[in-house]
């Protein structure tokens, strides 16, 4: 008895599946799954999707990386190399970015580097098609040739208190 009830249950389940398959076969306009790669040109990925680490540059070819190296320290598998040099600016020695080397071939897209960056200098890009014949082609330099650091705008000095009796006696910097 158990054998026959199991047989008919399986048959019913089979026809249920076949009915759904047949429905979408005769009305393909109702298909809701992504037709990748046919829709490659119109494919819109969610903003949060992680394809690779990128370093945004503005129209003046400036980035926000100060070459502090925190992203490299945060990376668990050594996918980031920050190469820096010292320059004299306004009579001070400052560190500037020489090369930001990103090894996409070993990156797990964990996001720790992006979280660690205090300057928001790196972020995730959506590009996800990374197939290459030579894995060395996945090692990328993220800072563009001739790019430089985007200097932060200096904050306007705080306004002095109107009533000198209420404010502190310290001078405004």
Q: 54, 56, 62, 74: which one contacts ligand SF4 (CB under 6 A)?
A: 74
Nearer to ligand SF4, 70 or 138 (CB): 70
CB of 95 to ligand SF4, least distance (A): 9
79 binds ligand SF4 (CB under 6 A): yes
First to last CA, the chain: 92
Residue 22: CB minimum distance to ligand SF4, A: 44
Question: How far is residue 42's CA from residue 162's CA, in Å, rounded to a whole number?
Answer: 58
User: For residue 18, what are its two tokens?
Assistant: 């076949």
Using CB under 6 A, which of 51, 56, 69, 125 touches ligand SF4? 69
DSSP letters along 104-161, please?
GGG-----HHHHH-TT---EEE-------SSGGGGEEE-SPTT-EE-PPPPPPPPPPP
- In whole angstroms, give the CA distance from residue 59 to residue 69: 25
Quick check: 143 binds ligand SF4 (CB under 6 A)? no
Question: Is residue 119 part of the contact set for ligand SF4 (CB under 6 A)?
Answer: yes
Q: Which lies closer to ligand SF4 via its Cβ, residue 23 or residue 123?
A: 123
For residues 78 and 69, the answer to whether their CB atoms sit within 8 Å is: no
Point out which span in 9-17, 66-74, 85-93, 146-154 binds ligand SF4 (CB under 6 A). 66-74
- Compute the CA torsion angle 26, 30, 33, 35 (nearest 10 deg): 70
Output 31 or 112, the one with its CB closest to ligand SF4: 112
Q: Which of 35, 49, 77, 172 binds ligand SF4 (CB under 6 A)?
A: 77
# residues near ligand SF4 by CB under 6 A: 26
Phi, psi of 56 (to 5 degrees): -65, 140
Footprint of ligand SF4 on this chain (CB under 6 A)?
A: 53, 65-71, 74-75, 77, 79-80, 82, 107-113, 116-117, 119, 121-122
């Amino acid at each position: 008895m158990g054998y026959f009830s199991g047989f008919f249950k399986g048959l019913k389940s089979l026809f249920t599946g076949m009915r759904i398959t047949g429905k979408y076969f005769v009305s393909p306009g109702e298909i809701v799954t992504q037709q990748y790669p046919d829709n490659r040109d119109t494919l819109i990925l969610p903003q949060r999707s992680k394809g690779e680490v990128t370093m945004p540059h503005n129209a003046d070819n400036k980035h926000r990386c100060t070459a502090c190296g925190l992203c490299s320290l945060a990376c668990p598998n050594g996918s980031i190399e920050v190469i820096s040099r010292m320059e004299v600016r306004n009579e001070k020695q400052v560190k500037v970015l020489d090369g930001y080397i990103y090894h996409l071939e070993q990156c797990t897209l964990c996001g720790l580097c992006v979280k660690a960056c205090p300057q928001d200098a790196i972020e995730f890009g959506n590009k996800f098609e990374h197939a290459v014949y030579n894995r060395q082609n996945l090692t990328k330099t993220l800072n563009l040739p001739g790019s430089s650091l985007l200097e932060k705008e200096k904050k306007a000095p705080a306004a002095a208190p109107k009533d000198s009796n209420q404010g502190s006696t310290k001078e405004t910097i």
